[in-house]
Amino acid sequence: MKIGIIGAGIAGVAAAARLSARGHQVEVFENNGYPGGKLSEFVQDGYRFDAGPSLFTMPQFVDAVFREAGENPQAHFQYEKVPVVCRYHWDDGTRLNAWAEPADFAAEVERILGVPAPTLLRFLENSRRKYELSGQIFLEKSLHKADTWLNKRVAKALLHIPEMDIFSSMNAVHERDLKHPKLVQLFNRFATYNGSNPYKAPGILTIIPHFEHGIGAFYPKGGMFSITNSLYELALRKGAVFHFNSPVSEIITENDVAKGLMAKGEQHSFDLIVSNMDIYHTYKKLLPHARHPERTLQQERSTSALIFYWGIRQQFPDLQLHNIFFSNDYLSEFEAMAAGQVCDDPTVYVNITSKYSPGDAPAGHEAWFVMVNVPANSGQDWDAMIERTRRNVLRKLSHNLGVDIGALIATEATLDPRSIEAKTASYQGALYGTSSNSQMAAFLRHPNFSSRIQNLYFAGGSVHPGGGIPLCLLSAKIVDELIFGRFDGLR
């Protein structure tokens, strides 16, 4: 069959590789001149920066694309496990390394915070148990198909609903199980992995730490963009055709059946369409005459990001690949974001790829990806907020590191919610589509297929199962399996 894919974000690229490997004729249409969407890179003044996602977990989902395409992943994509997942900093001088090995992490927590090691180990074990009971079922399958629910594993998971903390917030679970304010804050941060608020997001999301401390955090050889590039090259080897600088203006339908698309004024006919474009813009821009699922499209947006890319004229041996500098009042930080603002004491994340890829910066320098979680764009005065937040970030980093960071900046670039939307068509610059700030959020995401327009499918962070690299890869897997299940033997 001929399949047209709209968007070469990581889900679109993975879908292209999977579907091409099954023998379909696949063409991908991308607005930008490069693949990857948010998962891209750029070079400036001798520094290389990963433009978007900087944390790599669940590498098995990348490996699976290669294996299911009949190739050995290690021949095309390499990565290593990071021994320290993250280094945490508080303004009072507390420093804590979150070691990848749970026993080492627990020992560090006991030594630094005085929390008995078994407390953390029990929490991590519960995170693993919740994931294995629910995550593998509900993240890797469509929630909108009956056969997902008609199996023994789902029945078993449903029997354990009281243990899933669905009706408690993440923060409530952490206060109950971890108690120490700094440890609670550390684990509350995991809500930001899908753009949510730990004081609202359901406790089932306490499965997220298992990704890092049960399975591990990894660094891909060549940086995060190598995830995109390796899958892009796989798709090419399997016969997929990519059209860059080719924005799609319409999905063509006849009698509620997707028939093709319009790109750069030219009509292209396809048997199936897969949209990797944000679901909001897919409907509003590409299907203006179709009936829209307004309740889905009007859901609360996830958070966005303000990113400063800084070339730093110094090396910091005590910093790790991933570093967090916490705010002094985490609740106020999220309350400010809920009000569409950025607080004056934000939590700051610093990713330094040159720790693992020295060529990312000149000798003796480092390439810093400095990020603050911010609200989605709803018309705020971003220029003023960026200027104020930059000052606050520099003040926090300088205080914690004992040096004037601003004086060390050799080169700088900025990404904010406006430019995120402009470059990636993410509605309002929201990084993860909708938030997960309600118990039913997972079930309210748009399905990976259209129930109203036949032969139209959806992948990417704005649909099931959600945003972030692992879930985007799973959305591509779900679409591939939906198409395979429906058309097997008809190609």
**Domain for residue 319, yes or no?**
no
Please give the angle made by the CA atoms of 56, 420 and 33, to the nearest 5 degrees.
Answer: 85
* pLDDT value of residue 47: 98
Do 175 and 265 sit in the same domain of this protein?
A: no
pLDDT band at residue 161 under the 50/70/90 scheme: low
Q: Is the pLDDT of residue 243 over 60?
A: yes
Which of the 8 DSSP states describes residue 67? H
Do 110 and 167 sit in the same domain of this protein?
A: yes
- Domain end position, chosen among 215, 241, 273: 215
Do 226 and 201 sit in the same domain of this protein?
A: no
**Domain for residue 270, yes or no?**
yes
Q: Is the pLDDT of residue 489 over 70?
A: no
Do 138 and 173 sit in the same domain of this protein?
A: yes
Do 147 and 246 sit in the same domain of this protein?
A: no
| Tens digits of residue pLDDT in 20-75 | 999 999 999 999 999 999 999 999 999 999 999 999 999 999 999 999 999 999 99
Higher pLDDT among residues 434 and 328, named by residue: 328
Distance between the two ends of the chain, CA-based, in angstroms? 6
Dihedral class, residue 340 (left if φ above 0, else alpha if ψ from -120 to 50, else beta) = left
pLDDT band at residue 269 under the 50/70/90 scheme: very high
**Structural domains in the chain (count):** 2
**Domain for residue 63, yes or no?**
no
Mean pLDDT confidence for 143-163 = 66
pLDDT band at residue 163 under the 50/70/90 scheme: confident
In whole angstroms, give the CA distance from residue 435 to residue 72: 36
In whole angstroms, give the CA distance from residue 47 to residue 361: 5
Please report, to the nearest 10 degrees, the dihedral formed by the alpha carbons of residues 449, 453, 455, 457 taken in order: -30
* pLDDT value of residue 475: 97
Do 111 and 188 sit in the same domain of this protein?
A: yes
| Tens digits of residue pLDDT in 306-364 | 999 999 999 999 999 999 999 999 999 999 999 999 999 999 999 999 999 999 999 99
Place of tokens 């974001």: 337
Contact in structure between 447 and 463 (CB atoms under 8 Å): yes
Mean pLDDT confidence for 378-388 = 98
Closest to 413 measured CA to CA, from 383, 361, 375, 370: 370
Contact in structure between 373 and 346 (CB atoms under 8 Å): yes
Do 168 and 236 sit in the same domain of this protein?
A: no
- Expressed as residue numbers, the domain containing 9 is 2-40+222-300+435-487
Q: Residue 26: which CATH number?
A: 3.50.50.60
Query: Mean pLDDT score of the chain, rounded to an integer?
Result: 94
Provide the token pair at 228.
């995109």
* pLDDT value of residue 490: 43
In whole angstroms, give the CA distance from residue 363 to residue 354: 10
Do 261 and 286 sit in the same domain of this protein?
A: yes
Do 226 and 163 sit in the same domain of this protein?
A: no
**Domain for residue 328, yes or no?**
no
Do 113 and 208 sit in the same domain of this protein?
A: yes
Helix or strand or coil: residue 303? coil
| Residue 427 backbone phi and psi in degrees, to 5 | -55, 125
**Domain for residue 144, yes or no?**
yes
In whole angstroms, give the CA distance from residue 406 to residue 114: 35
- Domain end position, chosen among 184, 215, 246: 215
**Domain for residue 58, yes or no?**
no
Please report, to the nearest 10 degrees, the dihedral formed by the alpha carbons of residues 65, 71, 77, 82 taken in order: 70
**Domain for residue 84, yes or no?**
no
Q: Is the pLDDT of residue 234 over 50?
A: yes
| Tens digits of residue pLDDT in 197-228 | 999 999 999 999 999 999 999 999 999 999 99
* pLDDT value of residue 160: 61
Q: Is the pLDDT of residue 157 over 70?
A: no
In whole angstroms, give the CA distance from residue 382 to residue 385: 5
b/e per residue 381-400 (b: at least 16 CB within 10 A): ebeebbeebbebbbebbeeb
Do 174 and 253 sit in the same domain of this protein?
A: no
* pLDDT value of residue 491: 38
Cis amide prior to 59 (ω within 30 degrees): no
Do 111 and 196 sit in the same domain of this protein?
A: yes
Provide the token pair at 26.
């696949």
- Domain end position, chosen among 151, 184, 215: 215
Q: Is the pLDDT of residue 6 over 70?
A: yes
**Domain for residue 368, yes or no?**
no
Q: Is the dihedral angle over the CA atoms 453, 457, 460, 461 positive or is it negative?
A: positive
Higher pLDDT among residues 154 and 385, named by residue: 385
